[in-house]
Amino acid sequence: MGGGLLALINLRREKIALMGQILQFLFSGLTNGAVYAVIALGFTIIYNATDVINFAQGEFVMLGAMVMYTFVHFLSWPIPVAFFATIICVSVIGILVEFFTIRPAKNADIISLIIITIGVSIFLRGVAMMIWGKDPVAIPPFTGSTPIVFMGAAIDPQIIWVLVITLIAMIFTQWFFKYTIWGKAMRACAVNKKAAKLVGIKVERLVSLSFALSAGISAAAGAVIAPITFASYDMGTMLGLKGFCAAVLGGLGSGVGSILGGFILGILEAFGAGYISSSYKDAFAFLILLIVLFLKPQGLLGQGEVDKL
Amino acid sequence: MVTESRIEFLSPDAWGQWHTELLQSVVNRVYTRVPFYKNLLDKEGIDPSQITNVEMLKLLPFTTREDLANHYPYDFFAVPLRDIVRIHTFKSSQLSPIVIGYTKRDLEIRRFLAIRAFNVFGVRPEDIVQICLDPGMSMWSLELKEAAESLGALVIPPDPLRAKDRIKVMRDFKTTVLITTPSYGLYLLSIAREKGLGPRELSLRVGIFIGETLKDKDRKELEKGFGLRAFSIYGIMEAMGPVMAYECRDSKRLHLALDHVIPEVIDPKTLEPIFNGVGELVITTATTKANPLIRFRTGDLTKITYNVCECGRTTWRIDPIKGRSDQLVNVRGIKIDVGLIRRLLTEYCEGYEPKFLFVIRKKEFLEQIELWIAMDPQIFSASLPELHLWIRNLETKFKDYIGISCIVRPVEKRTIAPFLDRNKDIVYLDNNEINSLLL
Amino acid sequence: MLSIQNLHVSYGPIKVLKGVSLHIDQGEIVALIGANGAGKTTLMSTISGLLRPQSGEIKFEGQDIIKFPPDKIVKLGISLVPEGRQIFAPLTVLENLELGAYLRSKDKKGIKEDLDKIFSIFPKLKERKNQQAGTLSGGEQQMLAIARAFMARPRLLLLDEPSLGLAPMVLELIMDSILELNKEGLTILIVEQNAIKALEISTRGYVLETGRIILQGSSNELKEDPDVIRAYLGKDYEEITER
């Protein structure tokens, strides 16, 4: 494969400046990667709190985009207001999802709970289709659309926004886990639920919180990426799967791992699509996942309890 | 924190908790360790966990003195003999004697109960404690002596002295605490009076009366005559020892050792619990290790008072014993089983059971017992010396068997018939009645 | 302070506790001793709300707490130091302690005071406060577990097998610190397989045997009780007539 790649690069060298192209791919990879990373983080947060893999994670991204669209388009709210309102709104939806689906079934086994989340994902997608229709919708970019030219590559300013906001989301998440008592409680919960209960942590409340947090950061990702990709009721499915791949890639349960996994996945995908064929774009993610799972089943950073989050 | 000295002042709620715990643990213990109770509970289909509180005691079967004798030797033991440091044996109306073992801790508890009462009575290490009890009550003497000794008091245990000499010792050694039965106390008092000794000449301060009920009249007499403060104590030797209950300074009722026994009062006929009335005292020994007893029927009739005493103690109190519910007769503190007398007679007459009447007569403060036997051809002998020998041998045998001397008197059948017709084989008679009957 | 009556607890079809009653008064150290599988840990888990009993009554200062969730029980003032420590291994020592004070995390001043108090009782923990708890030695982890429970400012501390897997020297240290906490006014219920050790520091004790309490009394008398000693040494008698 390496040989093929080189040949491909040589073929195109004459047409475009190599540097600019690599940067182009890199930026689109980073953008996608950042979104995957945030979604993977969302998976990780809920997984650590409940041991459940929430397959409705992608739907939170979709809801982020759709709700943002509604606020901007129908209510004409300014972008910053709409953006924060979106995050709050989807967080509340996250809490409701947990309250009405996961909590009533808390004595069920994990597999049943995972199937419930798949049901939730189908349900949310259906509702979104009923509300917003099947056609993709556009959200205006946050700060115009004049590309920024950087070392021969034209970069959409929204990409900067994506990178900045996802970065903020990641930093916020890490800060939350490291420095707030709830964050510490959630880590404690992830390590030892029984001991967590014994220090007086209300595990149910933390599970709600984890759904809110996870839905909130996913919504932020959805809202910020929508101006680039358009938004549609079914955009969440593929994003959710990619995010899941990233989370597994990084080692399920590890926060840093999932961020890393997201970026690796995004960048490889971008280069693969650019240099090999864009029609295999989606296959790359799963191919990488399979390779990693064969070679290092616990994921890149999954090393058991100690490195969780 | 409840220390041993505070436990008698626990709140009623706290007693409920203690008793539930004590009862459950003793039931669990006997169920797993004592063959007699294990079989009994299994037979009755009772699981220990059904005993959820003290009221549930009523589910459990009773234990009688006959049970104790019939399951001689080991069926009542909850610990191996290795843990036992003393064994007492008791006469019984059955084929075997009653055997009760004590672990070191059991003896400590008995001693502790005695010392606790002594402290309330104001017995101090400086005191000189004289114990005057019949040899038939040697077990009582032994335990009270040990308790008084470990308190640091000087103890004069019962020696085979005449009453006169006992009074002499009492005067010359300045005895301050007298432990005796009410009847023997009165007897001693009469002798002291004969010798012109009163409160002035004697140093007595405290009188501790056991074995019999201390009547108000006798109490006054003893307190005045000896110049002491009288307290009575109650106990039974099979369980919990001599001081299962004691009189405090504020009440004539006796405080039960509620931290070690769970008492009940039952109707001796229907066997139903009685909560506010006189009945037979039944006790469950909760802390006893060697031979814990469940619902042991004491045979003593009394009433339990549940409210708080003026002294502040919340331990339940019993009235002075009002009598016996069974065939046991209390003579000078010694319990005599009429069934045992019947067995003795049958044995003595080689299988034939003569008609008899057991007579307790008041004589010089002390009760004297007599056995009136109806003459009939089976035991009649024409030779007077032979008859005398027959009587003498029976008296010796009685003393040996029952532990107290008795006068055997052959009588005509019609003398005792009126009593026997009314199903009475024990009667209390005074001298005049006896004289008129025998004339 | 705490009174339990007729507690029945089952794991599925297996009855673990069959009508247990016991109580603890303010200021006491009460030891609950018994062999493995007697139900000691089950009792502790039930008091702290982790397990639901079939029936029975648990009252803390007169209040029925049997249906309370663990957090409410911690809030009322009962903290459990679970068997096998159960510290949060990837978190730092300090984070573990902060989580101990989870329910009063706004009381920064109080937490600071309690941390100082804990660090004076367990100076080792102060040395290692920024270390991951999982890297501590067994004894230090036990100290941390006790300290974490203490941070909730309990009035009743439940200690489940604090001696488990500790070297004798470390054990002494732990027992001393338990006594120290008791002097600070903490009432303590300690569950131990190491009966003699537990009876040495406690005022009263209960002996649990296959889900039932078969004996109780002051620790001094239990320590000398032949049954307890036999159970401790794992020797039983075969014949009642043995001497």
Q: Is B2 helix (H, G, I), strand (E, B) or coil?
A: coil
C-alpha–C-alpha distance, residues C153 and A199, integer Å: 11
Could you list the residue range(s) of the whole structural domain that residue B226 is in? 1-325
CA-atom Rg of chain B in angstroms: 23
Whether residues B154 and B230 fall in one domain = yes
Angle between the A57-69 and A18-50 helix axes, to the nearest 10 degrees? Answer: 110
Asked if residue B147 and residue B266 are part of one domain, the reply reads yes
Query: d(Cα C130, Cα C148) in Å, to the nearest integer?
Result: 15
Residues from chain B contacting residue C243 (CB–CB below 8 Å): 81-82
- What's the whole-number mean pLDDT along residues B37-41? 90
User: Is residue A18 scored above 70 in pLDDT?
Assistant: no
Is any Cβ of chain A less than 8 angstroms from the Cβ of C4? no
The predicted model gives B66-90 an average pLDDT of 88
- Is there a single domain that holds both residue B101 and residue B230? yes
User: Which of the two residues, B173 and A18, has the higher pLDDT score?
Assistant: B173
My answer on whether B167 and B206 are in the same domain is yes
Q: State the nearest Cα–Cα gap between A170 and chain C, in angstroms.
A: 20
Contact A58, A265 (CB under 8 A): no
Q: For residue A6, give every residue at least 6 positions away whose Cβ sits within 8 Å of its Cβ, in sequence order, or none.
A: none
Is the Cβ of C149 closer than 8 Å to some Cβ of chain A?
Answer: yes
Smallest CA-to-CA distance from C30 within C191, C181, C175 is with C191
> Does the structure show a pLDDT above 60 at A7?
no
Task: Report the distance separating Cα A231 and Cα A64, nearest Å.
Answer: 9
Residue appearing with tokens 């005022």: C203
At C243 the pLDDT is 67
Closest Cα of chain C to A97: distance in Å?
23
Pick the residue of A198, A305, A308 with the most C CBs within 10 A to test the interface with C by mutation: A198
pLDDT score, position A9: 55
Do B350 and B301 reside in the same domain of the chain?
A: no
Block residue for tokens 């017995």: B123
What DSSP string runs through A103-143?
GGGTTS-HHHHHHHHHHHHHHHHHHHHHHH-SS-B----BT
| Mutation to test the A interface, candidates C102, C105, C157, most A Cβ within 10 Å | C102
pLDDT range class, residue A94, cuts 50, 70, 90: very high
Residue B397, pLDDT score:
86
Domain boundary among B256, B291, B325: B325
Q: Give the whole-angstrom CA distance, residue C101 versus residue A209.
A: 19
Give residue A204's pLDDT band: very low, low, confident or very high (50, 70, 90).
confident
Phi/psi at B198 (nearest 5 deg)? -135, -165
Q: What is the dihedral of CA A164, A166, A167, A173, to 10 degrees?
A: 140
Helix axes A281-295, A235-250, angle to 10 degrees: 30
Contact C61, B13 (CB under 8 A): no
Cα–Cα–Cα angle for A268, A274, A278, rounded to 5 degrees: 95
Are the C-beta atoms of C118 and C151 separated by less than 8 Å? yes
DSSP secondary structure string for all residues of chain A: -HHHHHHHHHHHHTTS-HHHHHHHHHHHHHHHHHHHHHHHHHHHHHHHHHS---TTHHHHHHHHHHHHHIIIIIS---HHHHHHHHHHHHHHHHHHHIIIIIGGGTTS-HHHHHHHHHHHHHHHHHHHHHHH-SS-B----BTB-PPEEETTEEE-HHHHHHHHHHHHHHHHHHHHHHHSHHHHHHHHHHH-HHHHHHTT--HHHHHHHHHHHHHHHHHHHHHHHHHHH-B-TTHHHHHHHHHHHHHHHH-TT-HHHHHHHHHHHHHHHHHHHHHT-GGGHHHHHHHHHHHHHHH-TT-SS--SGGG--
Share of chain A above pLDDT 70, in %: 89
d(CA A169, CA A175): 10
How far, in Å, CA of B397 to CA of B97, rounded? 17
User: What are the beta bridge partners of residue A155?
Assistant: A148
Among B228, B239, B246, which Cα is nearest to B185's? B228
Mean confidence (pLDDT) of chain A: 83
- CA distance, residue C220 to nearest chain B CA (Å): 11
C21, C23, C237 ranked by CB distance to B24: nearest: C21
Q: For residue B395, what is the domain's CATH number?
A: 3.30.300.30
The CATH number of the domain holding residue B205 is 3.40.50.12780
Specify the CATH architecture of the domain C2-85+153-233.
3-Layer(aba) Sandwich (3.40)
pLDDT over threshold 90, residue B275: no
Nearest to B24 among C19, C224, C240 (CB): C19
Q: What is the pLDDT of residue A10?
A: 58
Burial bucket for residue B62 (CB in 10 Å: 0-12, 13-18, 19+): middle
The C-alpha atoms of residue B246 and residue B252 are separated, in whole angstroms, by 9
Q: Domain count for chain B, please give it.
A: 2
End-to-end CA distance of chain B: 69
Answer whether A202 sits within 8 Å of C148, measured CB to CB. no
Mutate: best of B82, B99, B104, B108, partner C, most C CBs <10 A: B82
User: Exposed (0-12), middle (13-18) or buried (19+): which is C11, by Cβ within 10 Å?
Assistant: exposed
> Do C5 and B28 lie within an 8 Å CB cutoff?
no
Of all residues in chain B, the percent with pLDDT exceeding 70 is 98
Q: Is B77 on the interface with C (CB under 8 A)?
A: yes
Of B267, B298, B325, which residue sits at a domain end?
B325
CB B17 within 8 A of CB C5: yes
With a CB cutoff of 8 Å and minimum separation 6, the contacts of C70 are: A197, A198, A200, C48, C49, C50
For chain A, domains (ranges, CATH) are 23-307 (1.10.3470)
Give the list of residues 6+ apart from residue C164 with CB closer than 8 angstroms, or none. Answer: C83, C84, C193
pLDDT for position A186: 87
- Which residue has tokens 């953008």? A31
Which of B293, B325, B357 is the C-terminal boundary of a domain? B325
- Taking 50 as the threshold, does the pLDDT of residue A307 lie above it? no
CB of C152 closer than 8 Å to CB of C101: yes
Instruction: List, in sequence order, every residue forming a beta bridge with B230; answer none if it has no partner.
Output: B207
Nearest to B17 among C3, C213, C218 (CB): C3
pLDDT for A11 equals 56
Spatial separation of the C-alpha atoms in residues B253 and A156, rounded to whole Å: 100
Per-residue pLDDT, B3: 46
Distances (CA, A) of C101 to B146, C143, C162: 55, 16, 21
Q: Which pLDDT value is given to residue A1?
A: 41
Whether residue C212 and residue B48 make contact (CB cut-off 8 A), yes or no, is yes
* Model ipTM value: 0.85
Token pair listed for B425: 């084989």
Q: Do B196 and B128 have their domain in common?
A: yes
Q: What is the mean pLDDT of residues A95-118?
A: 86
Cα(B234)–Cα(B245) distance, integer angstroms: 5
Which of C202, C214, C239 to mutate to test binding with chain B, by most B CBs within 10 Å of its CB?
C214
CB atoms A184 and C80 under 8 Å:
no
User: What are phi and psi for residue B162, nearest 5 degrees?
Assistant: -75, 160
CA–CA separation, B180 and C111 (whole Å): 66
Residues B149 and B234 in one domain: yes
pLDDT value at residue A300: 65
pLDDT in tens, B44-61: 888 888 888 888 888 899
Q: Of all helices (H) and strands (E), which one includes residue C109? A: helix C108-121
Q: Cβ C49–A201 below 8 Å, yes or no? A: no
Which residues does chain C have within 8 Å of residue A257's beta carbon, measured at their own beta carbons?
none
- Subunits next to A (3 or more Cβ pairs <8 Å) are C
Q: Is the pLDDT of residue B321 over 80?
A: yes
Question: Which of B32, B81, B105 comes nearest C225 by C-beta?
Answer: B105
Q: What is the average pLDDT across A241-265?
A: 85
Among B297, B294, B281, CA closest to B29? B294
Q: Is chain C in touch with chain A: ≥3 Cβ pairs within 8 A?
A: yes
pLDDT in tens, B6-31: 788 888 888 888 889 999 999 999 99
Closest CA–CA distance from residue C29 to any residue of chain B (Å): 10
Across the interface, whether the CB atoms of C87 and A308 are under 8 A apart is answered no
Asked whether the beta carbons of B309 and B285 are under 8 A apart, the reply is no
In this predicted structure, the answer to whether residue A258 has a pLDDT above a threshold of 70 is yes
- What is the mean predicted confidence (pLDDT) over A261-284? 80
Q: Report the distance separating Cα B419 and Cα B426, nearest Å.
A: 9
Chain C residue whose CA is closest to B21: C21
3-state secondary structure of B65: helix
Domain ranges of chain C: 2-85+153-233
Q: A187-201, A282-296, B105-119, C82-96: lowest mean pLDDT where?
A: A282-296
Regarding whether B99 and B206 lie in a shared domain, the answer is yes
* pLDDT per residue rounded down to tens, chain C (243 residues): 899 989 999 888 888 899 899 999 999 999 998 888 888 889 999 999 988 899 999 999 988 998 898 889 999 999 999 888 888 888 889 888 988 888 888 888 888 888 888 888 888 888 888 888 888 888 888 889 999 998 888 999 999 988 888 888 888 888 888 898 899 889 999 998 888 888 989 999 999 888 899 888 888 888 888 888 887 766 677 777 776
What is the model's pLDDT at position B2?
43
